[in-house]
């Protein structure tokens, strides 16, 4: 699949070049790559906000090509919930409850039912019930982000696409939010596609990683496969998760790790026997 911005004008620029991949149902896929590598462009193809200039995108049993009519895309948009970068910019209603209910009502859920759901969504994203009747513009930036995410979750999508959902949040809020997404993935079997610059999040949660560079898909595999080659990552202006970076430095000091530890627990497990401590359980 390829995508060209402003095709047919002197401004034409390649967004994506010959990207071929499959995102499995129920997987947790991370897309990494430095700024301008085509991650966000790729994301917008996942719910037909952009249509490929060449090639096809298959979402469930719908095939999207250049010729696909703009009508009747709603079912796809409901299936694939999309949380954009700085999602708080999309808030507009008078109360938080109404804003959260906006998505579901657009997809035909009766207004009362949608506002009832909103209460559950607010709890899900970790906000107190009082905010429901407040104006979204009276909330803090972090709270607004949560409201926006609640608004997407309220549509009950089966795929959740997240474009740097934690950018600009404090560390505690970031951890909380990532845990919440992971819980949705584990408990409700939500397919998650996450674009991020946080390699730690990739290591902690993802089971599949796509690496983008200059509009091309340059590598694909499990986090372990991707983070194995630190030099290759550095060439593509990407880093390692903190644990892998630490393991690498310890390796230089004579420690041995196999396989490469990606989470703190894995690192501790492999490290303890080597420094003569008790086995970690």
Partner 1 sequence: MTKLLLGRYLPGDSWVHKLDPRTKLMASFYYIGIIFLANNWQTYLLMFMATMVMVAASKIKLGFFLRGVRPMIWLILFTVMLQVFFTKGGATYWSWGWLAITQYGLTNGAFIFMRFVLIIFVSTLLTLTTQPLSLADAVESLLKPLRVLHVPVTELALVLQIALRFVPTLMDQTTKIMNAQRARGVDFGSGNLFQQMKAVVPLLIPLFVDSFGIAEDLATAMDARGYQGGDGRTKYRVLQYHRKDIVAGMIMAGLTIALIFLKA
Question: Where on the chain is the footprint of partner 1 (CB under 8 A)?
Answer: 6, 9-11, 44, 47, 49, 71, 74, 77-78, 81-82, 84, 87, 89-92, 102-103, 106-107, 137, 151-152, 155
CA-nearest of 185, 177, 197, 182 to 31 is 197
CA-to-CA separations, 1 to 18, 47, 53, 274, in angstroms, rounded: 5, 14, 8, 48
Distance in Å, CB of 94 to partner 1, minimum: 10
What's the token pair of residue 180?
């919440």
Distance in Å, CB of 79 to partner 1, minimum: 11
What gap in Å lies between CA 257 and CA 162, rounded to an integer? 32
Out of 115, 133, 164, 220, the active site residue is 164
Would strands 13-16 and 3-5 be described as parallel, antiparallel, or unpaired? antiparallel
CB-wise, 12 or 268, nearer to partner 1?
Answer: 12
SS3 state at 272: helix
Work out the angle between the directed axes of helices 111-124 and 141-153 (0-180°, nearest 10): 130
DSSP 34: -
88 is catalytic: no
Distance in Å, CB of 259 to partner 1, minimum: 38
CB-wise, 47 or 166, nearer to partner 1?
Answer: 47
CB-wise, 49 or 218, nearer to partner 1?
Answer: 49
> Are 52 and 1 spatial neighbours (Cβ–Cβ below 8 Å)?
yes
CB-wise, 45 or 174, nearer to partner 1?
Answer: 45
- Active-site residue numbers? 164
């Amino acid at each position: 699949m390829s995508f060209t911005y402003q095709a047919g004008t002197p401004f034409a620029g390649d967004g994506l070049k010959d990207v071929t991949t499959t995102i499995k149902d129920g997987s947790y896929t991370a897309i990494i790559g430095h700024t301008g590598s085509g991650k966000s462009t790729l994301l917008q193809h996942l719910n037909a906000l952009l249509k490929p200039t060449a090639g096809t995108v298959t979402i469930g049993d719908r095939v999207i090509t250049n010729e696909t009519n703009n009508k009747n895309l709603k079912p796809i948009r409901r299936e694939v919930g999309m949380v954009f970068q700085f999602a708080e910019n999309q808030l507009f209603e008078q109360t938080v409850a109404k804003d959260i209910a906006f998505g579901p009502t657009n997809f035909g859920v009766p207004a009362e039912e949608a506002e009832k759901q909103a209460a559950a969504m607010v709890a899900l994203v970790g906000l107190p019930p009082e905010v429901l009747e407040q104006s979204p513009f009276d909330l803090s930036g972090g709270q607004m982000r949560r409201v926006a995410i609640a608004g997407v979750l309220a549509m009950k999508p089966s795929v959740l696409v997240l474009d740097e959902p934690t950018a600009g949040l404090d560390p505690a809020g970031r951890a909380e939010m990532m845990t919440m997404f992971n819980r949705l993935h584990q408990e409700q079997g939500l397919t998650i596609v996450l674009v991020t610059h946080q390699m730690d999040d990739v290591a902690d949660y993802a089971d599949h990683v796509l690496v983008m560079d200059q509009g091309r898909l340059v590598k694909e595999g499990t986090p372990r496969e991707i983070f194995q080659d630190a030099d290759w990552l550095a060439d593509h202006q990407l880093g390692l998760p903190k644990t892998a970076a630490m393991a690498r430095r310890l390796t230089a000091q004579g420690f041995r790790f196999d396989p490469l530890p990606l989470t703190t627990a894995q690192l501790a497990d492999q490290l303890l026997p080597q420094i003569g401590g008790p086995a970690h359980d």
